[in-house]
Amino acid sequence: MKSIPILLCFAGLASMAQAQVYTGATGLTIKSGTTFVFDGLNLTPSADLGVQNVTISRSATPAAAGSGATISRVYTISPALTFSGTAGIKYAAGELNGNQESTLSLVTGTSGNFTAFNSSTPGSAGTYYVSASGLNNTVLSGLSATSASVPLPIRYTDFAVAPGSGCTSLLSWNAYKATAANFTVERSQDGKRFEALASEVFQNEHHFTATDPAPLKDRSFYRLALQEPGAKVMYSGVVSINNPCLSPQTFIYPNPAGKEISIRFAAVPENPVYVDLLDISGKVVLSLHTLAQTSTLDLQSVAAGTYLLKIRNGANTEHIKLVKQ
């Protein structure tokens, strides 16, 4: 019975603005089978648990967990507790943060380094409670919950291919909440049957690149295979390029350019050709639609720098590097 006033005292502390509790130098003992409650955190030890000089705090900011994120309720325990028994978290519907209630797993650790308990049990629909029982000498440095079956989707943009150095093809794209390990470049001769390309993916923050050192003889088609843990493989759109060592289908002059450039095609186009001038971030600066074999693009409004001309001529797409002086 003596534990009851102590638990009520700590329950009162949970209403403090900082949502933090400190056990102090004298500490306390949580008796076996007694549930210690702090601001939605429930700890029921299977053996008497002595707690001394421990700080438990709660944050409403979700943390990274694998390829996804936790609910908006993250507890930090410092120093970490070695715990046996049952741990659980009560939360509100608005704290799910995109996770699915029925598939939540209790996780322990720190942001980006959480470990899920195999025995996690979500509560019945609408109860907003997740727990893990049978824990045995488990180190608890932090607690939250996440739904491993609902990883945050990888968002990619600006997937493109352009001639690289020599006769190579350079692929580039931007992606967020991703690493190089999430991507595999695949290549095809006809745009239908793809095989993985043995090419390393390089990452610089959210910008990714890969090189095809030996493009196919005529035309190469490329796509990205996106793989997240626990999720099916997804595929990007398809981009293509003629072998960079073949005779070009489009001629740009002068390059470097001044006030304007001329764009000349190897033959009179059968259908409208779409020309986009892209800056280094992939943003369209100028556009041109033409049916003429030779056209002029006015560059007077364009700042000096390096650009990429994206030329869509029927089923063919070319990328030509352009320098504006």
Containing structural domain, residue 307: 250-324
Q: What is the pLDDT of residue 164?
A: 80
Domain count, the chain: 3
pLDDT for 229: 64
Return the pLDDT at 172. 92
Looking at the structure, do residues 185 and 230 belong to the same domain, yes or no?
yes
**Phi then psi for 287, rounded to 5 degrees?**
-135, 155
- 7 and 142, same domain (yes or no): yes
| Average pLDDT of the chain to the nearest whole number | 82
Other C-beta atoms within 10 Å of 315: how many? 9
Q: How does pLDDT run across 153-167, given as a tens digit for each residue?
A: 566 788 888 888 777
On whether both 62 and 123 belong to a single domain, the answer is: yes
Whether residues 12 and 93 fall in one domain: yes
Q: Are residues 98 and 20 in the same domain?
A: yes
Residue that is last in its domain, among 114, 146, 178: 146
pLDDT confidence band for 110 (50 / 70 / 90)? confident
Please report the pLDDT score of residue 10 as a whole number: 40
Between 68 and 191, name the one with better pLDDT.
Answer: 191
The pLDDT confidence band at residue 72, using thresholds 50, 70 and 90, is very high
Both 237 and 254 in one domain: the answer is no
State how far the alpha carbon of 317 is from the alpha carbons of 239, 263, 266, in Å.
Answer: 8, 14, 14
Model pLDDT, residue 154: 65
Q: Which two tokens stand for residue 13?
A: 């502390």
User: Residue 106 has which token pair?
Assistant: 């209790």
Among 100-104, 276-280, 292-296, the least confident range: 100-104
pTM of this structure: 0.43
pLDDT class of 230 with cuts at 50, 70, 90: low
Amino acid at 206: H
CATH of the domain at 284: 2.60.40.3080
Q: Which helix (H) or strand (E) holds 8?
A: helix 3-13
Q: Is the same domain home to 8 and 130?
A: yes
**Residue 161 to residues 156, 165, 185, 310, Cα–Cα distance (Å):** 15, 13, 12, 10
